[in-house]
């Protein structure tokens, strides 16, 4: 944290401003520095400065020149080649470029969709024909024909549930009598945003009530679904429960006994501690984390959401886990969009949905960039030994993105240890990755704000390292120099003992070393200020 704060101080201390912003304001040796660079840096912290003297343009230009001389020295002694610097800059570039890897318009749409789907839950049933994600075209066609056949039967009048029991590869459609699980005939009950894989959720909310969707694909295979109803979400609830983990008549009798004690006035938390078989909650009075629809078994969910008032409790009811009594602690209605927006945005960015936003960026780039694929070079895909081919035989250009040429070797290296997907699919992923990589590498040329922030951080990081070497570490180790400075300036200090005011003297000594060092840097460089442009800037800021 200290390092970050020092960087900000170093950057802002030189950060210091219309005139012609492309005009040259000053030159340092052969480097030309434009008005716009100084103006941008000057204005960054101008509003935060309440001292008129600190706002003086000429004084800030002197600070700016000092800063540029220091950075120039850092590059001269090759601090930019330090492994620690290279590593930190790579990390920062990833952080800084992350927002550019998302399509903000598309992301906004996902957030608005997620809010609607949080506020409104949907009831649907489905049929699944399983298909491996890496299935070949033949198996894909077989699965597709099966799902189309199922849809045609339903469209022609057969009952959706009956077809689901016969054809669906979702085990819950048929049920499991041995485990006491009834066939749900494809019925999924009510669900809302983030409860299903996104392609399924999206298909459900884009299908009209009563209609059967066209086939769509998820990681599980092909689906069709029918929407039964849409209703306003009941939000979330907090409840406590008592579990008697016995589905027999004895369990029911025990639950009834506990229920009678409740009716007679005994405390729910005390009964939970004494009788509940849920060891994870009994010590907390049976309290569960808040939950919404679709997260609990249906009888439990129905009982919890049917309670109207705080501290109401249910009669004993049965699930496959045993007998329960539930008490309502709190209801959590759906928040407004403004209250939910940040949480939903964060949730989307952490989920696989962020890939959709990234894909939207890639799709835009594909239409914007000139992309050439060499069909002859792609014939290497047909070779079963593709990962063992020598690099000398992989030098054909397989992909060109604008002016960037990518060889077969680069692609093959990227799939060396990826053997669970067909090569043609790996290539499509590789192509998308390279397009995004090209975009990221060229952000400095296409996004001025990104380029400016990155440059400030690069220079600030170098300056931090330089100041450590030239000033901070040197002053800390130079006890003789510190003592000599104290003796030479004794009249400045009230105490005659260095150890009592060492911190103050150290700060003054560092300033002394820095002034001497800057004077030396100025002697080694030729600095010329364009007086006309400086005067223009002074007049400009007088009017502001």
Q: Residue 226 to residues 230, 331, 473: CA-CA distances in angstroms?
A: 12, 31, 71
Window from 150-164, 208-222, 434-448, 474-488 with minimum mean pLDDT = 474-488
Contact predicate 451/458, CB 8 Å: no
Q: Whole-angstrom Cα distance, residue 221 to residue 132? A: 7
Q: Which of 298, 417, 437 is nearest to 358 (CA)?
A: 437
Q: Residue 98 to residues 86, 103, 260, 452: CA-CA distances in angstroms?
A: 18, 11, 59, 16
Residue 54 has what pLDDT? Answer: 76
Residue 44 has what pLDDT? Answer: 81
Residue 4 has what pLDDT? Answer: 44
Contact predicate 209/196, CB 8 Å: no
Q: Which stretches of 325-447 are DSSP H helices?
A: 337-350, 353-368, 408-414, 423-441, 443-446
Domains plus CATH for the chain? Answer: 2-76+447-543 (no CATH), 236-332 (3.10.50.40), 369-443 (no CATH)
Instruction: Please state the φ and ψ torsions of residue 24, each to the nearest 5 degrees.
Output: -80, 125
pLDDT digits (tens, 9 = 90+) for 391-439: 999 999 999 999 999 999 999 999 999 887 889 989 999 999 999 999 9
Residue 8 has what pLDDT? Answer: 42
pLDDT digits (tens, 9 = 90+) for 518-540: 999 999 999 999 999 999 999 98
Q: Residue 14 to residues 21, 35, 45, 191: CA-CA distances in angstroms?
A: 18, 14, 10, 56
Cα dihedral angle (478, 484, 490, 493), rounded to 10 degrees?
0
Residue 21 has what pLDDT? Answer: 66
Mean pLDDT of the chain: 90
Residues present in the chain in total: 544
Residue 497 has what pLDDT? Answer: 87
Contact predicate 443/451, CB 8 Å: yes
Average pLDDT over residues 226-249: 94
Residue 274 has what pLDDT? Answer: 95
Q: Whole-angstrom Cα distance, residue 164 to residue 14? A: 70
pLDDT digits (tens, 9 = 90+) for 131-154: 998 888 899 999 999 999 999 999
Contact predicate 161/186, CB 8 Å: yes
Q: Whole-angstrom Cα distance, residue 242 to residue 286? A: 6
Strand pairing class (31-34; 24-28): antiparallel
Average pLDDT over residues 258-277: 96
Q: Residue 296 to residues 237, 323, 396: CA-CA distances in angstroms?
A: 12, 14, 56
Confidence at 543, pLDDT banded by 50, 70, 90: confident
Run of H or E residues at 252: helix 249-263
Residues 6+ apart with CB under 8 A from 203: 213, 216, 223, 225
Q: Which of 48, 70, 18, 21 is nearest to 467 (CA)?
A: 70
Residue 419 has what pLDDT? Answer: 83
Run of H or E residues at 188: strand 187-191
pLDDT at 468 over 70: yes
- Count of CB atoms within 10 A of residue 388's CB? 9
Site of tokens 């309502």 = 328
pLDDT at 5 over 60: no
Q: Which two tokens stand for residue 140?
A: 């894909």
Site of tokens 């309670």 = 307
pLDDT digits (tens, 9 = 90+) for 82-127: 999 999 999 999 999 988 888 888 899 999 999 999 999 999 999 9
Confidence at 355, pLDDT banded by 50, 70, 90: confident
């Amino acid at each position: 944290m200290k390092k970050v704060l020092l960087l900000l101080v170093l950057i802002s201390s030189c950060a210091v401003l219309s005139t012609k912003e492309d005009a040259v304001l000053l030159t340092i040796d052969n480097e030309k520095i434009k008005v716009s660079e100084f103006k941008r840096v000057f204005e960054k912290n101008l509003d935060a400065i309440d001292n008129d003297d600190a706002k003086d343009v000429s004084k800030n230009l002197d600070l700016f020149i000092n800063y540029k001389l220091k950075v120039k020295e850092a590059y001269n002694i090759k601090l930019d080649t330090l492994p620690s610097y290279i590593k930190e800059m790579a990390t920062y570039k990833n952080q800084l470029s992350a927002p550019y890897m998302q399509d903000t318009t598309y992301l906004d749409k996902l957030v608005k969709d997620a809010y609607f789907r949080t506020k409104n839950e949907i009831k649907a049933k489905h049929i699944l024909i399983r298909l491996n994600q890496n299935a070949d075209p033949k198996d894909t066609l077989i699965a597709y024909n099966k799902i189309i056949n199922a849809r045609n039967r339903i469209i022609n009048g057969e009952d959706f549930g009956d077809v689901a029991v016969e054809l669906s590869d979702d085990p819950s459609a048929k049920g499991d009598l041995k485990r006491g699980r009834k066939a749900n005939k494809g019925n999924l009950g009510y669900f809302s945003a983030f409860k299903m894989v996104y392609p399924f959720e999206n298909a459900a909310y884009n299908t009209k009530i009563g209609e059967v969707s066209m086939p769509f694909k998820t990681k599980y295979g092909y689906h069709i679904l029918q929407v039964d109803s849409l209703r306003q979400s009941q939000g979330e609830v907090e409840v406590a429960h008592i579990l008697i983990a016995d589905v027999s008549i004895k369990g029911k009798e025990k639950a009834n006994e506990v229920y009678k004690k409740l009716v007679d006035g005994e405390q729910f938390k005390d009964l939970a501690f004494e009788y509940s078989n849920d060891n994870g909650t009994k010590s907390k009075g049976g309290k569960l984390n808040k939950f919404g629809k679709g997260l609990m078994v249906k009888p439990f969910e129905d009982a919890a959401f049917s309670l109207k008032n705080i501290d109401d409790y249910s009669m004993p009811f049965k699930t496959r886990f045993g007998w329960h009594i539930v008490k309502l602690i709190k209801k959590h209605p759906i928040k407004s969009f403004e209250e939910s927006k940040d949480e939903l945005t964060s949730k989307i960015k952490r989920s696989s949905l962020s890939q959709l936003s990234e894909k939207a960026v890639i799709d835009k780039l594909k239409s914007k960039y000139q992309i050439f694929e060499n069909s002859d070079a792609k014939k290497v895909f047909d070779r079963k030994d593709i990962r063992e081919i020598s690099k000398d035989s992989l030098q054909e250009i397989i992909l060109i993105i604008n002016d960037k040429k990518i060889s077969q070797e680069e692609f093959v290296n990227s799939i060396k240890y990826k053997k669970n997907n067909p090569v043609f699919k790996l290539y499509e992923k590789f192509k998308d990755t390279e397009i995004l990589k090209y975009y990221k590498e060229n952000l400095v040329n296409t996004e001025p704000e990104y380029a400016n922030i990155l440059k400030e951080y690069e220079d600030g990081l170098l300056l931090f390292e330089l100041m450590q070497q030239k000033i901070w570490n040197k002053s800390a180790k130079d006890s003789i120099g510190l003592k000599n400075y104290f003796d030479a300036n004794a009249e400045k200090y009230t105490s005659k003992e260095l150890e009592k005011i060492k911190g103050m003297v150290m700060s003054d000594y560092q300033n002394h070393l820095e002034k001497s060092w800057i004077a030396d840097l100025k002697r080694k460089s030729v600095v010329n200020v364009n007086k006309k442009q400086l005067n223009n800037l002074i007049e400009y800021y007088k009017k502001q």
